[in-house]
Amino acid sequence: MKILATTDFHGNSEAFRKTATKAIQSEADVIVISGDITHFGSLQNGRELLALLLKLNVPVLFVPGNCDPPELATETFEMIESIHGKCLQIYNTSFLGLGGSSPSPFTTPYELSELEIRDILMRSYNACKVQCDTILVSHSPPKDTKVDITFSKEHVGSLSVREFIEITKPKLVLCGHIHEALGLDKINETVLINPGPAQHGNCALIDLNGKIKVNFERL
């Protein structure tokens, strides 16, 4: 399975169009969006942006980010589906989702307490009916990693996300939120990827046929 991983579009419609083109060129099997589809936009704004990917005949899995309206967490149409609080199986892999973010100093539209994050993650995990490899799609990165560190060298990720990874050991975590933390890290054997903000042309192509292969590319 080949995944086109994206995050942090912040309302940039051209980045969505380039994502569609990239998905076709790379022959991606699944597109994953780890949040911040809009930039403090409405539910209708989120729908219109996601609809730019409708022409593709591949599943599009997403979670909302902290800059998205919370209502986007339950949005699903055609092959585009929010997996916030859900478990969805594709190609013998279970995708779990967590939208929003842990509390920030900026009081953004969709923030969750660490207890709420823990409950949503466990709800997603318990919804999985088949034992197979799991991929966590989370807007918030796990705390104290290379993918949650800001320009000021602060680790601002979620402790609950980290604890969930340590307990359940997913194969892969796709996250975003911290624009400057583009890159790859690991927690034990779990691979962590922040593809970088799509609004600036960033994405990652991930090949799961055997060993995980990651290429950070441009849209």
List pLDDT tens digits, range 93-141: 999 999 999 888 888 999 999 999 999 999 999 999 877 899 999 999 9
Whether residue 69 contacts residue 111, with contact meaning beta carbons closer than 8 Å, is answered with no
Whether residue 99 contacts residue 73, with contact meaning beta carbons closer than 8 Å, is answered with yes
CATH number of the domain within which 26 lies:
3.60.21.10
Q: Is 59 helix (H, G, I), strand (E, B) or coil?
A: coil
| Sign of the alpha-carbon torsion through 157, 75, 36, 192 | positive
Domain holding 153, by residue range, is 2-218
- Which one, of 40, 66, 64, lies nearest residue 50 by Cα? 64
| Sign of the alpha-carbon torsion through 80, 34, 68, 21 | negative
Burial class (CB in 10 A: 0-12, 13-18, 19+), 159: middle
Q: How many domains is the chain built from?
A: 1
**Tens of each residue's pLDDT in the chain, 219 residues:** 999 999 999 999 999 999 999 999 999 999 999 999 999 999 999 999 999 999 998 999 999 999 999 999 999 999 999 999 999 999 889 999 999 998 888 889 999 999 999 999 999 999 998 778 999 999 999 999 999 999 999 999 999 999 999 999 999 999 999 999 999 999 999 999 999 999 999 999 999 988 899 999 999
Tell me which DSSP letter residue 27 carries. T
Q: pTM of the full predicted structure?
A: 0.97
